Amino acid sequence: MSAESTSPMSNFVYSFAAARVLLQRAHEHGFLIEGMVLYVSLIDGLLRLAIILDKQLAGDAVTVGEYMEQVPGGAKLSERAIYQEARRRGIIDEPLMNEVVDLYEHRNAIVHRFFLTRLQYADLGPHLVRYEMVYDQCSAIVAELEDRQVREGKGMTVADGSQADRRVVLVEVLGKLGFNPDLSERDPTTRSS
């Protein structure tokens, strides 16, 4: 599947899964700044998905591409706008929103002003624990919204995908990571020697 033919939602799913793989690598190798950047991106993605799921459950009109795609010259929903909308819709509460905003600002300070602060690289580790906790909270919110969609028969969430669907996702995730797996000959999750 080419990037041009991939729907915004499919691209989001593949990119999200690829980011989780990269985050795992960051954890394994102690890449603290990369981990921080990925956590902020993943949290933003979870909240974007939560808004779409919530709107579908409420019967509100929603265009998936509005939340899942940014095209040159098109409208852009910033992270802050997503946080505010998630709060306004009651998806997240005030304390969680404050934590998300604080972590976002911390990430910006590290990425854009690391050399202007007294923060040392080793000081970043404890912050990653906070990011993981917020990621887990946002992930649980999405899981609950998906469960509601399945129970209520509303929205885009389906109960379970087929093995073929999982293979397509795996191929696309590997593609996002720069690999070109050939599934006709081998299982892409195994390494060739």
Residue 76 lies in a domain: yes
Residue 181: the pLDDT is 57
Using CA of residue 132, residue 134, residue 140, residue 143, what is the dihedral sign?
negative
Residue 104 lies in a domain: yes
Q: How far apart are CA 185 and CA 181, in angstroms?
A: 9
Residue 71 lies in a domain: yes
Instruction: Give the CA angle between residues 40, 58, 43 to the nearest 5°.
Output: 5
Phi, psi of 67 (to 5 degrees): -100, -25
Positions of the chain with pLDDT lower than 70, given as ranges: 1-5, 71, 73-75, 159-193
Contact 105, 97 (CB under 8 A): no
Q: How far apart are CA 81 and CA 5, in angstroms?
A: 28
Residue 177: the pLDDT is 61
Instruction: Name the one residue in this structure whose structure tokens are 């409420």.
Output: 58
Residue 137: the pLDDT is 94
Residue 192: the pLDDT is 44
Residue 68 lies in a domain: yes
Q: What is the CATH number of the domain that holds 65?
A: 1.20.120
Residue 180 lies in a domain: no
In terms of Cα–Cα distance, which of 82, 16, 52, 13 is closest to 142? 52
Contact 53, 142 (CB under 8 A): yes
Residue 150 lies in a domain: yes
Q: How many domains does the chain have?
A: 1
Q: Which residues contact 165 (CB under 8 A, 6 or more apart)?
A: none
Residue 32 lies in a domain: yes
Question: Which residue range forms the structural domain that includes residue 120?
Answer: 8-159
The two tokens of residue 33 are: 């700044």
Number of Cβ within a 10 Å radius of residue 55: 18
Residue 118 lies in a domain: yes
